[in-house]
Amino acid sequence: MNFHLTGTLTAPSGLWDRTPVKYYNSTVWDGYVHQPATYLINLSDEQSTYRKVTGAGTVAVIDTGIDSTHPVFSGVLVTGYDFTRNSQGGSELSDVNQSTMAVVDGSAYPAQLNQSTMAVVDGNEALTLEQSKYAAFGHGTMTSGIIHLVAPTAKIMPLKAFRADGSGYLSDILRAIYYARQNGANVISMSFDLPTYSQALNQALASANSAGIVCVASAGNDGKNILVYPAANTSYVMGVASTNNQDLQSSFTNYGSNLVWAAAPGEGVISAYPGATYAAGWGTSFSAPFVAGEAALVRGAVLTTNQSSAKTAIAHAKYINSNLNKGRIDVYQAIFSVE
């Protein structure tokens, strides 16, 4: 389900910190690197202590695609695929070249991105994208940017299974999972959900796990103790809930230990946005890629990392409450546990 936050949101101050800084192989905004979320998950401590553990392998991102020209992704992209057009690449920029977006009955699209709200820098203002007909445009670039923030030397494989309005076919998601397996992915990041169980999806995830792929999915933004999929495919997936910058459970996040393995920051998270700029996002969509990046970090320490061992490492987290199972992730503690 696509969920939009209500009320007034304050764009984080980091969106205006455009000081260029070197971050591994790319030049990025300081507000992206030094945002509250990175300190909450102890990323700077992990990077200063374990200098060689900066991410390994390839993270497949099943989303709206990516802006491959964004400076953040310099040197880390591998060839992806656009399942909405059956073409190589996985770019989301082609969506904005359409003069209109098709309006279809929601039942035709059994999956929906878990995007909530995004604020994007445009001149001197922060604009929410709820007012745009391209409601999910930039979503894949943002989730990929968070993965890169956590695991800057891991490769990113953009797999476009969703359109700019946030809708996607289950068949395209299945194709993307199998494509990830066949093309060498080590982690799959999924910021979307389906309201009902799918045996075909369960089989695809089991196949990915059997190939050693770590699977991560967002828990959804209904604010309820409910099951959504793939996060609730707990045998094969780590479901991720959202916390705020005060280390409290986000009001909008779904919760429950039968859905959530761990939580990560999901409010006002700053990431890359198409057009060489940056945006802030609210929602579990932006929590899941923190855990996907963490899985790539763990693989950087232990190349044989699989779903089970990644879950064990990521369980070294800060306990918040029983709703969020293991708690808010701590990448330093996760790497310490395997080094």
What is the set of active-site residues?
63, 139, 285
DSSP 3-state of 54: coil
Q: How far apart are the C-alpha atoms of 130 and 118, rounded to whole Å? A: 8
CA distances from 176 to 29, 148, 189, 250, 285 (A): 31, 20, 11, 30, 18
234 touches 206 (CB < 8 A): no
Strands (E), 64-133: 80-82, 87-89, 111-113, 117-122, 125-128
Q: How far apart are CA 31 and CA 145, in angstroms?
A: 13
Distance CA 322, CA 6 (A): 26
Return the closest-CA partner of residue 281 out of 262, 267, 296.
267
